[in-house]
Amino acid sequence: MLDVRVRSQVGFEPERRSSHPYLCIDFRTLHTRLGCGSTSASSAPERRVHRLLSFQRYLHSSRLLRGVPQQIPLHILDEDYTGQARCMLEKVGNWNFDIFLFDRLTNGNSLITLTFHLLNQYGLVELYQLDMVKLWRFLVMVQEDYHSDNPYHNAVHAADVTQAMYCYMREPMLAKSLTSRDILLGLLAAATHDLDHPGVNQPFLIKTDHYLATLYRNTSVLENHHWKSAVGLLRETGLFSHLPAEDSLNMERELGSLILATDISRQNDYLSKFRLHLDQENLCLSNASHRHFLLQMALKCADICNPCRPWELSKQWSEKVTKEFFQQGDIEKKHKLEVSPLCDRVANTVGNIQIGFMTYVAEPLFAEWARFSDTRLSQTMLGHMGLNKASWSGLQQEQTSVSEEVEPSTAGTDVEDAAAQKDGNTGGTSSKEIPQGSRES
């Protein structure tokens, strides 16, 4: 039986990485080498070969070169687990779909299983005559090129965004207008929108002179990389090789347009355009460019929909994204770099980060989406976000109250300890003094 996980080490790479040398930190080995001291520079030929690999595939190949066996997860599941996963897929359109449970039931293959199911459910495999082996190989490679050691930007996040995108495309305003091409692009864009994410943000890449920042001239650096990585896998697997060349190129461009829309730094541009369309009531869903714009907005919503999920799911995502922020902050401190906003674990908490994100980013976007698609789902999302924001505010107040209670009791203990030490000293006065002023919690 053909193992579709087997693939060439050096695939097509549109980025011509060899012309952009690494400066400062190599993020392909970020999680394995930063704590291990400096390593000797590789020879020029080795660097040229490695730059053709994604960050994730580089790690796989380097493990093999060092004689470390590659840990390939077992894809064969117990029948009970596959049965439960199938049951979950029957309700894949529910907003309370638990992607964490689904990932466990599929043995860590949620992105492959979910995307394949949705493509098949829409009849896109048959309609576009997609080769099953090529499609499966493409999805396996996509999942592999997400970094499993990223707390947030990993394949489970991609699966979650894909499920949310499916929910949005089922909304009446879109379901009756989207073409099969729109749906195919929407699902592929959701599945690949953060492909090969290094776990750090664009400002970090820029201030460390990373080659990707140079390559994309400090503009939508990560989003361009995600897009080009997806195109590389499409071409490496030949998924669209049977289509006319012009059609394939156009699909790659449209895929890029969708992925680039997820750049959070351009949030206001897209939101203003969306708001203007809604104010003027001039969105025409028979217009291909208008449908594409709505797909962009749907993907933007799917990408940041975590605050709109039920609390049990939303809280987990909030903790994961904050953990990734703080890991970046720790790296910045270690390398004597300015700590990026929200990345300092001393100055920030999960709660205040989430409350700020909901207030300034999520609420304005989903309010406009509800104007466009005033459905039960939209109201459910806004309701969850309001409840989640209140929950984080409540937790913040509880933490503040606990800190205020602990502070005087801690100070009292210090006073008693100081007095005891003074009484216990003989032949002199204790050098220990009671600290003055307030103490940080």
Residues carrying an active site annotation: 153
- Residue 307 per-residue DSSP state: G
Rounded Cα distance, 269 and 267, in Å: 6
Tell me if 115 sits within 8 A of 191, measured CB to CB.
Answer: yes
What is the CA 343 to chain-centroid distance, rounded? 16
Length, in residues, of the chain? 441
Rounded Cα distance, 82 and 18, in Å: 43
Report CA dihedral (196, 199, 200, 206) to the nearest 10 degrees: -20
- Residue 298 per-residue DSSP state: H
Tokens of 98: 């638990």
Going by C-alpha positions, the residue among 227, 383, 238, 365 that lies closest to residue 309 is: 383
Tell me which H or E stretch contains 36. Answer: none
Q: What b/e readout covers 418-435, taking b as 16+ CB neighbours within 10 angstroms?
A: eeeeeeeeeeeeeeeeee
Rounded Cα distance, 109 and 159, in Å: 9
Rounded Cα distance, 138 and 144, in Å: 10
Tell me which H or E stretch contains 423. Answer: helix 376-424
Rounded Cα distance, 366 and 301, in Å: 7
Rounded Cα distance, 214 and 17, in Å: 11
Tokens of 88: 């979950």
Q: Is 206 helix (H, G, I), strand (E, B) or coil?
A: helix
Q: Is 28 helix (H, G, I), strand (E, B) or coil?
A: helix
Rounded Cα distance, 252 and 227, in Å: 9
